[in-house]
Amino acid sequence: MKIATKFIHAGATPDPSTGAIMTPIFQTSTYVQEAPGKNKGFEYARSQNPTRKALEEALAEIENGKFGLAFSSGVAATDAVIKLLEPGDEVVAASDMYGGTYRLFTKIFEKFGIKFVYTDTTDLSKVQAAVSSKTKLIWLETPTNPLMNITDIAGVSVIAKKANALLCVDNTFASPYLQNPLDLGADIVMHSSTKYLGGHSDVIQGALIMNSAELREKLYFIQKSCGAVPGPMDCFLVLRGIKTLHLRMQQHCLNGEKIAQWLRSNPRVAKVYWPGFEDNAGYAIAKKQMRGFGGMISFELKNDSQEEAVRVLSSTHLFSLAESLGGVESLINHPASMTHASIPREERIKNGLSDSLIRLSVGVEDADDLIEDLKKAIG
């Protein structure tokens, strides 16, 4: 089945009672049982919900996986993965990553005896050097947030398997339209479904997809026991978003390329971070493991000051100054004070995230209008 057909029909079964083509929103907390333990497959909505079940089946299908689990947020999905571990276990993670993930690792899980080792995952020799006998998980983002670094998923998968460690890939920036980490050897794929999967900035949700039935049962137990589950309305919204994911991603990619090229030609811009440039260090790997380069771009101005960056950030009109990404509307963001503020400044600077870095989530508006907006703001 071709990808566009898959996205539209994934998880979609007409409602048997009415024939409704859209999955109903089952707004219920519990289900009547015929006798104790005798039910129609649903007992209590924290454990199961028909709308959520349809979404989880769709998530698995679009990521070429066997099992999907939906969570109340991307961070909740990440939290569930780390709860697979025990005190004394180690996690190798990318030094460039979403600030909320870093905060979860350092402020919540480190105090429970889990050690996090950060390294440049674009260099497989550094990943190998970071792995020890205690490594139980390798956590990747590719492209990374916000520097758009590319990691060879298949290459890291080989390292993870030799170490008997799980490999989890945060696929939020790429989306299943551009990249399928399970096909490249990952054990778990994580999404902040808030972003491209939902696509309309109207839902908070997360997802995990995997092929192992054993892993699914462990993660489902965590999901059910800890209760970080999405409501049926949120599941409905993400199901609806998936149906147009391929259309939106095509436009995100077209707009992203046009704006990245324009930014690079702008004399006031010092550097543009976008994996689609042929001279980008990760271009060859991105070309191999992705179907396109996406609509996420970061850049630095030649006037390398936070004050100048703030001026630009506050001067756009079509690009809305806000956290998040992946919606149909374009957003502009200052990672150092917004999405990555929880990472200590010295760590940010060491990893290449400057105080003046600007991140764009390029939407699906007309690219010429977006360029004109940036042109006026940059000056």
Q: Contact 270/378 with Cβ under 8 angstroms?
A: no
CATH (one of 3.40.50.10860, 3.40.50.2300, 3.40.640.10, 2.60.120.680) for 3-242: 3.40.640.10
> Could you report the per-residue pLDDT of 257-274, keeping only the tens digit for each?
999 999 999 999 999 999
The band of 339, judged by pLDDT with boundaries at 50, 70 and 90, is confident
Residue 332's DSSP bridge partners are: 321, 360
Whether a cis peptide bond, with omega within 30° of 0, leads into 146 is yes
The band of 354, judged by pLDDT with boundaries at 50, 70 and 90, is confident
pLDDT of amino acid 59: 98
> Could you report the per-residue pLDDT of 213-227, keeping only the tens digit for each?
999 999 999 999 999
Catalytic residues: 46, 98, 170, 195
Residue 299's DSSP bridge partners are: 272, 358
Question: Tell me, what DSSP letter sits at residue 84?
Answer: T
pTM of the model: 0.96
Determine the CATH number of domain 245-378: 3.90.1150.10
Sequence-distant (6+) residues with CB within 8 A of 322 are 331, 332, 333
* C-alpha torsion angle, residues 146, 152, 156, 157 (rounded to 10): 120
- For the chain, give every domain's residue range: 3-242, 245-378
